[in-house]
A and B are shown apart, each in its own frame.
Chain A
Amino acid sequence: MHVRKNIPLILLVASVAAAALLITDPYILTMLIFIGIYAIATMGLNLLLGFAGQISLGHGAFFALGAYVSAILTTRFGAPCTAAAALAVALVCAIAWAVGLPCLRLKGHYLAMGTLAFGEIIHITLNAEVELTGGPSGIAGIPVLSLGPFSADSDARYFLIVWCVFIALFVLTRNIINSRPGRALQALHGSEQAAGAMGIDVAGMKLTVFVLSAAYAALAGVLYVHFVAFVSPQAGDIMFSIKMVTMVVAGGMGHLWGGLLGAALLTVLPEMLSYFEDYDMLIYGGILLAMVMFMPGGLTQGLARLSGALRARRTAVRPGAVTGGRTEDPVPRRTAQ
């Protein structure tokens, strides 16, 4: 472990700690909480999209399922939040496994449409099963997260929890990517045939990543629902799934920081513009299109290039300085169809 490599992470930890101490404006804290929640979900999706090269248009459903299971367990059965959260994530893992198994056996991007259909089915079910889910009226009065005597009943505390979860998952994800299976995963994105020839279990690998990314989304859903204290089927509709994909693409597919950057951008931007008026769809579509066409590495790579160019100009002596650690290197893209 190099210290240099960990600088961004250390900075993140430091700024989270500083923010928790210094920021008292609940509006800012709330926005940061939402950014953290979305960043957790997009980090999982990024693992799938950027590292395994598979697209899912149903991750909103995993988010919604995580939220709903936890909401139902805590409001109907009085389960403690932590148990409800664990159960919600476990259940979503099982469902993701069942959905992913058939879709991922097939070559190519059947997963895209399979997950889209799955997402719609979940959305319809959440609306129709009124007895269980409250139907379109949703579930209200969901308790705030608590662990024993500690209750996350203020924005500052909730902020701390969300970002601690994010940092923990970030370290976990980075370790996964840098581990043996992680390298196998990246090989997969390069060429499935080649990876298979090297003895990598391609389908099994893809399935594992799919389930893992669904678990991230479910956890984000759990964090969301105990913060907002209300959930309706709207929480994980198709538009939300697309928004998650947009966040990943805008931030940078295959970059660990991409999900966070995308989530921050697409949460802050609409707030800054304060009046998106009727242009929000055009803006989302435009960002998506422009990013994949002109900056396929997303913001992370754009910034990296910029900073690399600046540094190269400063220290022209060190040719190796342009790219940093392995982790943040853009994943080789599959170019053949």
Chain B
Amino acid sequence: MSIESQIVQFLFTGIALGSIYAMVALGFNIIYNATGILNFAQGEFVMLGGLVMVWLSVTLGLPMPLAFAVTVAAVMAVGALFERLAIYPLKKPPVLILIIITLAGSIIFKGSAMLLWGKKTYSLPHFSSEQPIAVLGATILPQTFWIIGFLAAVVAALALFFNCTMLGKAMRACSFNPTAASLVGINVKRIVLLSFAVSAAIGAIAGIVFTPVVLMEYDRGTMLALKGFCAAVLGGLGNGAGAVVAGLLIGILESFGAGFISSAYKDAIALLVLLLVLVVRPGGLLSRGEASRLKDF
């Protein structure tokens, strides 16, 4: 395999991985913007998306599009329920408590998934053919293009939602100033609920498109959440475009790092980037703002 083909191969692998990180980062940002909470259970939404999809489409034999829709709806419901049961009842909880609650949530989701699905690894058929496509000497799975396509679709849908719908604008208003938003008649509590539902949906989509390539099991969430968080911080917390760019960047860095530097330290790359960003440029790569402007999360 020539070095050029290797580079193309690494690039596509990185973009596919990065798309997933980007979707997780987007999920982080939506909740963060609405509430200032870092949802540690974000990776579990991805895991749930994958496993519910497997259950519906493989075990129950539902047609793919229907199973897809039901899965997204189900995980959305889980996200909303989590908010209603664990976040909503607390009146002005301190941030520390919120962190611990989402941490507890993630462990509970993981534990429940383990009880429901066991510790087995599940696979899902590819959306289209499994026959790799040759590009410049590299071989790329059609599913890779599905993943990239879904990331584009999610980004487009979010852009439309936040810029062109009343609800989306209300959410943005909340992220700028919740008090002011409630003064102009926006129901902030409902926006918080919505943010959990939307970011659960994004997580579910990521899980569904990702599972055919990498299989899925109950404890995949933590690492995905960590990588997604790296992307979110690198892109500047709360910054949607930043999350996508940073997610892709981390995926590509990882893939090249594993290929050319050391596969043993593959997972450390994203984390080192995170620590470095925290030290050098806490506002994220794309932000011109100062660290002090960051929300007190």
Contacts and interface: CB of A to CB of B under 8 A. Distances in A.
28 contacts: A49-B96, A55-B100, A102-B275, A105-B291, A108-B294, A108-B295, A109-B99, A110-B278, A112-B38, A112-B99, A114-B275, A114-B278, A117-B226, A120-B268, A121-B272, A124-B268, A245-B103, A249-B100, A279-B111, A285-B104, A285-B110, A289-B86, A289-B101, A289-B104, A293-B89, A293-B90, A335-B92, A337-B36
A296 B97 contact: yes
B271 interface: yes
B95 interface: yes
| Interface of chain B, main secondary structure | helix
Interface stretch (B12-20, B248-256, B259-267): B259-267
B274 A124 contact: no
B278 A106 contact: yes
B222 interface: yes
A89 to B, nearest CB: 23
A40 B104 CA distance: 23
Interface residues of A, number: 49
Given A109-B99, A117-B275, A292-B101, A337 B115 contact: no
Contacts of A57: 103
A242 B279 CA distance: 24
Contacts of B291: 105-107
Interface in B231-256: 233
A227 interface: no
A65 to B, nearest CB: 16
B105 interface: yes
Interface in A229-277: 238, 242, 245, 249, 253
Dominant SS among interface residues on chain A? helix
Nearest to A119: B271
B279 to A, nearest CB: 4
Nearest to B115: A278
A182 interface: no
A189 to B, nearest CB: 9
B54 to A, nearest CB: 19
B36 A120 contact: no
Nearest to B219: A281
Contacts of A249: 100
Contact of A117 (B90, B105, B106, B271): B271
A271 B238 CA distance: 44
Interface string A280-311: 11101110110011001000000000000000
Please give me the 3 A-B residue pairs with the lowest Cβ-Cβ distance, nearest first: A281-B111, A285-B107, A285-B108
A318 to B, nearest CB: 32
B185 interface: no
